Structure 1
Amino acid sequence: MNTLPPVVHVAVQRPFYSTLDYSYDPTQGSIPLGSRLEIKLAGRTTVGVVMGSSPTPTLADPKKLKAITRLMDNEPILDAHLVELLDWAAKYYHEPIGEVVFTALPSLLRQQRPLNLPIWWQLTATESPTELQRAKRQLALYEWLKAQGGYVSEDAVAAWAGNGWRVTMRHLEAKGLVASTTLPPAPLEHIATAPHLTLTPQQLATIEGIQHAITQAELKPTLLHGITGSGKTEVYLRVMAPILAQGKQVLVLVPEISLTPQLLGRFRTHYPHERMVCLHSGLTDQERLQAWLQAQQQQVRIIIGTRSAVFTPCPNLGLIIIDEEHDLSFKQQEGFRYHGRDLAIKRAHMLNIPIILGSATPALETLHNADSGRFHYFHLAQRPGTAKPPSVQLQNIRGQTLRSGLSSTTLSMIKDTLARQEQVMLFINRRGFAPLLMCSSCGWSGQCEHCSANMTYHARQGKLICHHCSVEKLVPEHCPQCGHHHLVTQGQGTERLELVLSQTFPTIPIIRIDRDSTARKGALAERLQQVHEHPTAILVGTQMLAKGHDFPNLTLVVVLEADAALLSSEYHARERFGQLLVQVAGRAGRSDKAGQVIIQTNHPENPALVTLLAQGYTLFARQLLEERRRWHYPPFGYQALLRANAPELNDALDVLDKMAEHLQLFGLGGVILLGPTTAMLEKRAGRYRTQLLLQSANRKALHTLLNYLTHTIKQLKFPANTRWSIDVDPLDLT
């Protein structure tokens, strides 16, 4: 007779590339998949999540198998689908399984305490049956619950009903009149229904085409490519309707927290009777947990969130929408380096549900998938009503005298726009007052001691701040090198532009929107409200202003310092430049007023810039795709970036040298190794950064090599205090 104990495979928050096995006593009940356990690891108690089970242990000596300490919750926190998705993600991104699983959980579920949520009681019938007339206590409790709105916490029931209330409540539960739940109801705000917009023929045809595509037996992702202001959100809202009518859930992913309130408002006015939640980094731990659990228990059917919301448990998920699918914010750049868009596509495929990717500037990979027939493709090329795309003017500033980066022609156009009582946006992707503070006598500059970069001068705070490691120091009164008192600035940022414009246009509100001005909670919403309250205003900001915002009275957009990305050696830079330029330009002329965009440049003849403006984003993107095809860059090849960092440069290089040698001994199988070399930003936060790029025309060969590396990495001895990471499908090679 087999007396060996059954085994559960447990993911723990440690750098292990496989699960750990623990035994349990089957007489105490089964251990469901996705449950949290308390276990002993290296003499300490910790939390684990069950990723699978076996009827018998696989260890040669079962006596060495430790037993679980206890089951932490009554119900699993992850369903079978999410367990499968997370297991796939750990394998694809070559990340320790525990790091992946615990990244997906709200922080309160990573802690070593049971999920003891208060019990709420909910009415499940609108009318009391006649037999309650003879059960006075039950009738009284029922009528009180009804008067409270149908949802009441156990504490409130006990305070009102006194001793013995549980017996009475159980009688009502047995009759099917009430039910218990561990969550209060998601709030249903009383918002007036917005009048449905009149759709353009192009929108109607697109909605009909998408609805036909997502009802096919064999589904594939849908790309909705719509110019800025073409009404993509309205298409999302209409396509969702039949999904919601079937009682299913819809998950909407957006790239930035700044977009969630605006999008949530659109969704709430269109679906005022639907409960919905937002998941983003601005929530408290308790708020995030509650929203997560409301989605898990199907109290809400519309879930809107940023990147990590892709892991939200939605047992009845029927549709995923990714707005601004091209945005770099969907890619996690630290820790578990996943791509939210790609994981959403995988999740939709696993569940065989439709997924819609929307953008005015699709990522090259997405556009290539549409061109090759792997994605459905729909194009919105017109703005509704009388709104027209803005006219775009290249302004050659070579040799001109500029005032804080602004030409005399630009200043004149700003003045004319304000005279018409319209709004102007000045876009510069650099916050602070100036990127460089230097001594005019000896040439000293304010460099960061911890990074190979200059510190940015922030005039209002009187500080130099490193935008790479966040180190701050007060601005010196004189040159630290020669003692000279005349320190000067070079270049400009949003803060300097704000100052110059307030001096030039003293009666006009200047509204600056960047990471500094919106750091306080609620500050972004306040500033966006100011934009809507002042029909005549100047907006100054970084790429926070470029994404998804609708400013009806904005008619002039000025793009400053557009050249840096065009001259970058990083092959992703031109794609991002094109996307950002189109998105920024799309803020102008979104109502019935004509919009105009000025791009100040020293290189008006740049071929990529000429193509983008003369022929549009699609041809610009296909030109970049053709270049990538020649170099076998993604999406025509596959890449992974091995990174290492250490306090000493030679130690960081040594890590990757050993990895490269280790991989070559195994056999590269057609994978090309480029490096090791120093990163473009060689030093950051006191640590030197190096990288080794792996490139292959064959995805399987690349992943075979990475799998070998992660499972044999312990054989390599690295210098002390070094760190390394793997980035699969990297989007930032700096």
Structure 2
Amino acid sequence: MSSPILRLALPSPLRRLFDYLPPPSLVADDLQPGIRLLVPFGRRQMVGVLVEVVSHSDIAPAKLKAALEVLDEQPVIPQPLLRLCRFAASYWQHSLGDTLSCALPLLLRQGEPARRWQEPFWQVAEQARLDDPRLARAPRQRQVLQVLAQHPHGVPQRLLARLQLNRESLNLLLGKGLVEVKTHRHTAVAPPAHWLAQPELTLNTEQQAAFAAVQAKAGEFAAFLLDGVTGSGKTEVYLQLIHAILQSGKQALVLIPEINLGPQTLSRFTCRFNARIALLHSARSDQERLDAWLAASLGEADIVIGTRSALFTPLPRLGLIVIDEEHDSSYKQQEGLRYHARDLALVRAQQEAVPIVLGSATPALETLHNAQTGRYQWLHLAQRAAGAAAVRFIRLDIKSRPLDSGISEPLAKAIGQALASGQQVLVFLNRRGFAPVLCCHDCGWLSACPRCDARMTLHQQSGELRCHHCGHVKPRPKQCPDCGQVDLRPLGAGTERAEQRLGILFPDYPVLRIDRDSTRRKGTLEQLLSRVQRGKPCILLGTQMLAKGHHFPRVTLVAILDADSGLFSADFRAAERMAQQIVQVAGRAGRADAPGQVIIQSHFADHPLLVQLCEQGYAAFARQALQERKAAGLPPFAHLALLRAEAPKPKRALDFLDNACLLAEKQQAQLGSRVELLGPIPAPMERRAGKYRAQLLLKAASRRELHRLLAPWLVALETEHSSRRVRWSLDVDPMDLY
């Protein structure tokens, strides 16, 4: 009888499965899909995931290799998650092996055991004595033994340094058998008797209607758009829905767009619930992420909060999915498996028959279209919670006005008045660094990146020029590289420059800068936000890290220093993003008793988009934008895929895409499909990180028509000779065309 064949998915870009024989002396019928195996792959060893056990292979039995080791007794990827990964690999045209690798924590990808960390404890051995003759000439070892003897249950390894227990002495004692190291195994924590740690707030009429609509669909799939203005109490609706889910014995999954929203979200949930909460995002250590992932998979985490990758967390009792700030582009993965967590979450909710809530004050146009056409149930929260008034917008025309580090005189006056009245001010500038470019005043030299078609940003504090596209860094020059003159001037303003100027204008008030540079150290963001929450007058200056999700009750003035970047972009989504960003950052003002106002500095203060947004709101902008998208045949009224290619030589990427275009035309002729091919053309930023980039856009009226072409076309592309000379990737439903 022939041996069963193990069909595995390996972390490889090859879009196929790999056949192996079972390890010697192992019954293959006992192996379940979703377990990991260690297998030989060329000269390496790889960790693969078993997808199925079959009886036949297209490869000759003599050429099949045997798996080396079975790493799991039970599947680490249960069937529902395996089904989700199969869909993701198929829809986003990616290899299943890479997709499953994305679903696993890093330590499991590396073949580590699927168990939580067992912390080592040092304790005195049972037969040890303080008067042991071997310690007569070792006073340090005797002292360490005395300290350990004061802790009969042992000292955890993380506390050794605090108790001044020297590791060298401990190791010597261990060698003499006077101390021993044990691990305390994890014991499951029982669910609490009472879920609420603090009372729930009273819902207003709109909130109660939204809660009741979602609650009515508990236990079945239904998609809801919770469209609520900033400060309308969307989070309170989430919390009460989750409370109902916990009471029914189910788990909840909450996705947030940014890591920086994790601490405050976790704090809000831990204050409300006695539940077991797991936090999953890339800022946590590999072991912390594995522990949280395993706790969720064992049903020991009641609520999972995380960024987009948390969507792949196994949840055996899943009862509700919440996508907060669903419009945010951070939910779209830009490398590898280019999935969109919001869209894939909808698929998971449907597969597992649970309701899903998409919440935003500025819903994505695709989401709005789905709500308008009835695919999602549309829930409105039009009033701010606790009776807070809507913010007042002021469009400040800065044409011909002198700007000091991006700050006009009227704006500086308004900031001073808000601070003098005891309030806080948020200044928004989505440009980190000191200045976006360094210029020679004599010859006009500009600080261009040697590897990109872009300028290098001046970072004053570090004395460096940095490219924010490829990461290239070099010291700030003392003289012009072209003419040798020393009159080098920073042009424009970033957060560093604005911070410096605000500190000079308002020396009596702290300026708290929050951007990627100022919050690199762990805990810095939490410390800065804690200072803001104390309520003392201050200036909060930052980038898009501050634009969404944060609750600052004392902020009454929001100043947007530069609102023009999205008005004239070549990207058809730029206006939508700009509108969302303005509304989101404006929503940080006036969330308590004091009314809020938003001052928008612009060289185009009378631009129709700005006028409409400020006077009629986001809903009016979205209605018009959807009409324009429909007339232009753009998403959500069309479906796109973008084939990108890059190569060290400029013509090579375009040649590959020319061949790809010909292959697509041949495929269309065979299939009779109708997909529009646009390009190939150089990318908007053609040279990046030393590579020349080009792209080919595919557009179809229906998603089905597009995917009918993509699958066979990619098979042909993988065998195309020119594909080996470039690096290429396909992005289905791209969020940007750069």
Taking structure 2 as the reference length, what is the TM-score of the superposition?
A: 0.88
**Matching residue of 1:88:** 87
**Matching residue of 2:501:** 500
In structure 2, relative to structure 1, the CA distance for the partners of 1:720 and 1:116 (3 Å cut) is same
Q: How does 1:463-502 map to 2 (within 5 A)?
A: 463-502=464-503
Structure 2 distance, partners of 1:707, 1:578, is 36
What is the CA-CA distance between 1:218 and the residue it aligns to? 5.9
**Matching residue of 1:658:** 659
**Aligned partner (choices 250, 253, 258) of residue 251 of structure 1:** 253
Q: Residue 99 of structure 1 contacts residue 336 of structure 1 at CA under 8 Å; is this kept in 2? A: yes
**Aligned partner (choices 701, 708, 712) of residue 712 of structure 2:** 708
What is the CA-CA distance between 1:267 and the residue it aligns to? 1.1
**Matching residue of 2:618:** 617
Q: How does 1:401-440 map to 2 (within 5 A)?
A: 401-440=402-441
1:361-384 deviation line (CA, Å, top 9, x unaligned): 001011100000000111101112
In structure 2, relative to structure 1, the CA distance for the partners of 1:60 and 1:115 (3 Å cut) is closer
Structure 2 distance, partners of 1:107, 1:7, is 27
**Matching residue of 1:6:** 4
Structure 1 distance, partners of 2:289, 2:66, is 32
In structure 2, relative to structure 1, the CA distance for the partners of 1:111 and 1:697 (3 Å cut) is same
Structure 1 distance, partners of 2:432, 2:117, is 45
Q: Residue 186 of structure 1 contacts residue 275 of structure 1 at CA under 8 Å; is this kept in 2? A: no
**Percent same amino acid at aligned positions?**
47
Number of residues of Structure 1 aligned to a counterpart in Structure 2: 673
Q: Residue 6 of structure 1 contacts residue 26 of structure 1 at CA under 8 Å; is this kept in 2? A: no
**Matching residue of 2:244:** 242
1:696 aligns with 2:700: yes
Q: Residue 200 of structure 2 contacts residue 240 of structure 2 at CA under 8 Å; is this kept in 1? A: no
**Matching residue of 1:143:** none
1:564-589 deviation line (CA, Å, top 9, x unaligned): 10111210101101110000000000
Structure 2 distance, partners of 1:285, 1:183, is 21
1:541-573 deviation line (CA, Å, top 9, x unaligned): 100011111111100001111111011121010
Identify the range of structure 1 (396-405 vs 511-520) with the bigger mean alpha-carbon deviation.
Answer: 396-405
Structure 2 distance, partners of 1:379, 1:481, is 59
- For the residue of structure 2 that corresponds to 1:563, the secondary structure is coil
The one-letter amino acid of 1:13's match is P
1:559 aligns with 2:553: no
Structure 2 distance, partners of 1:209, 1:316, is 21
1:149-203 deviation line (CA, Å, top 9, x unaligned): 9xx99xxxxxxxxxxxxxxxxxxxxxxxxxx986664999999933422322221
Over the aligned positions, Cα root-mean-square deviation in angstroms equals: 2.3
1:46 aligns with 2:46: yes
In structure 2, relative to structure 1, the CA distance for the partners of 1:186 and 1:406 (3 Å cut) is farther
The one-letter amino acid of 1:691's match is Q
Structure 2 distance, partners of 1:186, 1:258, is 30
Q: Residue 183 of structure 1 contacts residue 290 of structure 1 at CA under 8 Å; is this kept in 2? A: no
**Matching residue of 1:682:** 686
- In structure 2, the gaps of 5 or more residues are 120-151, 158-183
Structure 1 distance, partners of 2:540, 2:63, is 66
Structure 1 distance, partners of 2:386, 2:703, is 46
In structure 2, relative to structure 1, the CA distance for the partners of 1:72 and 1:60 (3 Å cut) is closer
In structure 2, relative to structure 1, the CA distance for the partners of 1:106 and 1:187 (3 Å cut) is farther
**Matching residue of 1:168:** none
Structure 2 distance, partners of 1:521, 1:363, is 32
1:134-158 deviation line (CA, Å, top 9, x unaligned): xxxxxxxxxxxxxx99xx99xxxxx
- For the residue of structure 1 that corresponds to 2:479, the secondary structure is coil
Q: Residue 452 of structure 1 contacts residue 684 of structure 1 at CA under 8 Å; is this kept in 2? A: yes
Structure 1 distance, partners of 2:336, 2:257, is 18
**Matching residue of 1:307:** 308
Q: Residue 220 of structure 2 contacts residue 355 of structure 2 at CA under 8 Å; is this kept in 1? A: no
Q: How does 1:95-494 map to 2 (within 5 A)?
A: 95-115=94-114, 185=189, 193-212=197-216, 215=217, 219-271=221-273, 273-494=274-495
What is the CA-CA distance between 1:312 and the residue it aligns to? 0.3
Q: Residue 114 of structure 2 contacts residue 294 of structure 2 at CA under 8 Å; is this kept in 1? A: no
Q: Residue 117 of structure 2 contacts residue 291 of structure 2 at CA under 8 Å; is this kept in 1? A: no
- In structure 1, the gaps of 5 or more residues are 121-147, 154-179
- For the residue of structure 2 that corresponds to 1:667, the secondary structure is helix
Q: Residue 450 of structure 1 contacts residue 685 of structure 1 at CA under 8 Å; is this kept in 2? A: yes
1:664-685 deviation line (CA, Å, top 9, x unaligned): 1222621111111111111111
The one-letter amino acid of 2:50's match is V
Q: Residue 195 of structure 2 contacts residue 243 of structure 2 at CA under 8 Å; is this kept in 1? A: no
Q: Residue 221 of structure 2 contacts residue 349 of structure 2 at CA under 8 Å; is this kept in 1? A: no
Q: Residue 117 of structure 1 contacts residue 183 of structure 1 at CA under 8 Å; is this kept in 2? A: no
1:582 aligns with 2:583: yes
1:411-443 deviation line (CA, Å, top 9, x unaligned): 111111111011111111100111010001100
Structure 1 distance, partners of 2:636, 2:28, is 51
- For the residue of structure 1 that corresponds to 2:244, the secondary structure is helix
The one-letter amino acid of 2:206's match is Q
**Matching residue of 1:136:** none
The one-letter amino acid of 1:66's match is K
What is the CA-CA distance between 1:206 and the residue it aligns to? 2.0
